[in-house]
Structure 1
Amino acid sequence: MVCNLIIEDLKASEAINKVIDNEGFSGVVYVKDDNNVLLETASGFSNRADERLNTVHTRFGIASGCKVFTAVAICQLVENGIIKFDTRLKDCLKTVFPYFDEDVTIHHLLTHSSGIPDYFDEEIMDSYEDLWMSTPMYQMRNTNDFLPLFKNEKMMFKPGERFHYNNAAFIILGLIIEQHTGTSFTDYIEMNLFEKCGMSDSGYFSFDQLPKNTAFGYIDNEDGTWKTNAYSLPVKGGADGGAYITAPDMIKFWEALSNHRLLSKEYTKLLMTPHIHVDKGVDYGYGIWINKKRNATFKYHVMGYDPGVSFHSAFYPQYGIKIAIPSNESSGPFKVMKTLDEYFDI
């Protein structure tokens, strides 16, 4: 069978180890099918100063890789009849945005097609760290704290006009979750997603209160020196990114999602439906990237990049295989994922 061949290739693959060595990869590569762990490897240091090694059970920040958690939470509210995908922003959130188009809907926010201003526009801004020169990162603990960064800015384009990756849109989705549940965003996700998935080692942790077995994020300079990312990111993650997970916990998320433990079959399908075209062979669902090959879905995946953080995770529906590749450096998982993709593209 094809899957048996894949298992053998993964276990014996020199290519995976070569990429890990060539990249100086610091993190975890974890691959599992419906029943078995096919590959698990950890490399690099979770704490360079103390030379503490990463393990398969080390917690890593995943940046925007957790936008899918926000999308699942919104789908839960829709499934429970609290809001609808076509509900307009002005009808479901008390916060006033003076220059936002009145036709912006939850669907637009979920698909990066709202046209609202972003607080960090990745197409025109180079460094996420630059944001905190004027806004102290240690004050960014709650969803509302991000509003001054974009609330009074003007629209970039009309709602639904095109795809344009937008972090602020997911901040607003987090505010909607908070307003309609009476619970902080992070508490809602931890109770209604992580607990249901059995993700007992994952959570939204503050830089100044990191639990044990958590990797520090590292930024490498061209001269060979390095620093941690402690002053490069918001002190606590939220609706647009910043959760901490272990690789096995991320696999548990994919398993719970595909087995309809988080959403019904109908709403799981809606989450994973291509709602907007991004590029050749790439579409976007709700908080999730969708790659197609030969007119079929090749993989669903999420990814995240921040200073000192990089992450890729995927679900290959044809094989029931799930992959998690977290890293505590600014790059590395992409080439590992690309190598794994080549094994599954048969």
Structure 2
Amino acid sequence: MEKINLILEKYHQFNLFNGSALVAQHGKIILKKNYGKADMGWNIDAASDTKFRIGSITKQFTGMLIMQLKQEGKINLDDKISKYLPWYNKSIGDKLTIQHLLAHTSGLPNYTDFPDFKTKMVFENSSNKDFAVKYFKDTLGFEPGTKQSYCNTGYYLLGLIIEAITNKSYEDVLKEKIFDVIGMKNTGIEDPKQIISNYAQGYDFDYDGYQKTDYINMKTAVFAAGAMYSTANDMYKWDTALYGNTLLNDENKKIYFTPHLNGYANGLVIQKHSDFLKSGKEITTMVHSGGINGFSCNIARIPEDKIYVVLLDNTRAGKRGGQLEAVIDDIFNVLYNDKLSLPKPLVIYEVYSKMKSSSVEDGILYLKDIKKNKFDSYNFNGFENELNKLAYKFLSENNTDAALKVIDYAVSEFPNSFNVYDTRGEIYYIRKEYPESKKNYQKTLELNPNNDNAKEMLLKIEDLLKK
């Protein structure tokens, strides 16, 4: 469909999408196209069989394996996890059920938020059980089942539970119960030692251009929470299979698609809409994103009209303001209202150019002017995230003065965001201004009591202030 292609071309032109796109409607593919390079160094174009990391989309498959084991009578969703993980802290394991892990209602801390994750944990090359024993904390941030907080830890543990029940590797169970059954021949778990054909190179987009992404051992550090790779063609096979009974019978499929707190169900966020995009139609959206070093993925399905959108990106576009969600919104507008809404350039790129040519202060003044007088000409999606990311860019260049000015502005714009206070606490810590750092980490904890990084940093600061 030409309008959808035009939308994707524009996102690609503005460096907001690079990779494979597939759109289906009424069970038929209406667009399958690729935008940009799978490997920029070798000048290799992306294709519909190019393999991309899909990050947290893996959770749908982990959830499916759990439901298949339930269907076989090998597990119950209300089972305590200590039944399958005898090595885990029993006092906590006896409180947590399989359902708590599936729905992100366990109260466990999210291990990918730990301060050591990017600097140490990503390099580990141990068994998944050893990794969990070494790093996972079993203190609960809230009583299980009372709240919902996105938690990769829970899905990592689900992978270990699947292995404990089947006496097989998570990867082999995926292949046996899903990939081989529905013909997903180009999908798997990334092994750092394995040579994978037609594999996309992952990139991060810095304000000065693209660069190769940082290393991560997907098999060990991410596992059942997000270690899969796949292709646009294979992901369409997955969507098609979810309409039939090949993987689950109707009874268990209904449970698989039943949302819990905040609409979360087995790797999908499910919402009902009574007048979707003012189309007058009652529909259900099932969506999820996946982001991992160098890659972003977004999928969305609307079962009433058999609509499926999959976007596989190897430039970490989702980190740049949630642009893949915006692409899907624009595609839905075409499908339901025949309305073409073309993307706009991301405002932060323009502001960074001003900062680079003049000063950070001039860039912030310029940004304020754009917000006041030219707001409709620019893309402000994920504005808070973009400001935070820009502060970190300056921080990586050891320019703490510039980083502080950017994050001060971010705090003025988003005074109720725990994340900007966390960043400002880090900047003050690096500057050795410990009282100010303490004040900001206290503020971020006030806004988000589950911020383990802030808790650890406050302990470090207290020790330093005592000296």
Instruction: Please report the TM-score for the alignment, with normalisation by the length of structure 1.
Output: 0.87
Aligned CA-pair RMSD: 2.2
Which residue among 296, 308, 324 is the counterpart of 1:310?
Answer: 296
Structure 1 or 2: larger helix share?
2
Alignment of 1:4-19 (within 5 A): 10=4, 14-19=6-11
Q: How many Å separate the matches in 2 of 1:49 and 1:16?
A: 23
**Matching of residue 41 in structure 1 with residue 26 in structure 2:** no
Which residue among 102, 108, 119 is the counterpart of 2:94?
Answer: 102
Inter-CA distance 180–235: structure 2 relative to 1 (3 Å threshold): closer
2:52 is matched with 60
**Matching of residue 269 in structure 1 with residue 254 in structure 2:** yes
2:158 is matched with 173
Contact 1:290/1:297 (8 A) holds in 2? no
Which residue among 331, 335, 345 is the counterpart of 1:340?
Answer: 331
- Residue type of the alignment partner of 1:234: M
Of 286-295 and 69-78, the range deviating more from structure 2: 286-295
| 1:112 Cα deviation after fit | 0.1
Inter-CA distance 144–320: structure 2 relative to 1 (3 Å threshold): farther
Aligned partner of residue 112 in structure 1, secondary structure: coil
Of 253-262 and 284-293, the range deviating more from structure 2: 284-293
| 1:45 Cα deviation after fit | 1.5
Alignment of 1:1-346 (within 5 A): 10=4, 14-97=6-89, 100=92, 102-121=94-113, 131-135=117-121, 137-139=123-125, 142=128, 144-150=130-136, 152-224=137-209, 226-229=211-214, 231-234=215-218, 237-276=222-261, 278=262, 283-294=263-274, 296-331=282-317, 332-346=323-337
- The alignment-based identity, stated in percent, is 28
Aligned partner of residue 38 in structure 2, secondary structure: strand
| 1:223 Cα deviation after fit | 3.3
| 1:140 Cα deviation after fit | 5.1
Aligned partner of residue 64 in structure 1, secondary structure: helix
Contact 2:192/2:217 (8 A) holds in 1? no
- Residue type of the alignment partner of 2:149: H
Aligned partner of residue 224 in structure 2, secondary structure: coil
Inter-CA distance 220–185: structure 2 relative to 1 (3 Å threshold): same
Name the count of aligned residue pairs: 325
| 1:111 Cα deviation after fit | 0.1
Inter-CA distance 145–294: structure 2 relative to 1 (3 Å threshold): same
Q: How many Å separate the matches in 1 of 2:129 and 2:313?
A: 25
1:53-98 CA-partner distances (Å, limit 9, x unpaired) = 1111100000111101000000011111111011111223222225
1:262-301 CA-partner distances (Å, limit 9, x unpaired) = 111111111111122x2xxxx1112211132118543212
Inter-CA distance 142–91: structure 2 relative to 1 (3 Å threshold): closer
Higher Rg of the two aligned structures? 2
Contact 1:291/1:299 (8 A) holds in 2? yes
Could you tell me which runs of 5 or more consecutive residues in structure 2 were left unpaired when the two chains were aligned: 276-281, 318-322, 338-467
Contact 1:115/1:158 (8 A) holds in 2? yes
Q: How many Å separate the matches in 2 of 1:341 and 1:31?
A: 10
| 1:21 Cα deviation after fit | 2.2
1:193-250 CA-partner distances (Å, limit 9, x unpaired) = 1111210111112233231111011123333351233x14535552100201001101
Contact 2:122/2:216 (8 A) holds in 1? no
Inter-CA distance 144–239: structure 2 relative to 1 (3 Å threshold): farther
Instruction: Please report the TM-score for the alignment, with normalisation by the length of structure 2.
Output: 0.65
Inter-CA distance 134–35: structure 2 relative to 1 (3 Å threshold): closer
State the structure with bigger RCO (CA 8 A, min sep 6), 1 or 2: 1
| 1:335 Cα deviation after fit | 2.6
| 1:49 Cα deviation after fit | 1.1
- Residue type of the alignment partner of 1:334: E
| 1:29 Cα deviation after fit | 0.8
Contact 1:256/1:262 (8 A) holds in 2? yes
Could you tell me which runs of 5 or more consecutive residues in structure 1 were left unpaired when the two chains were aligned: 1-6
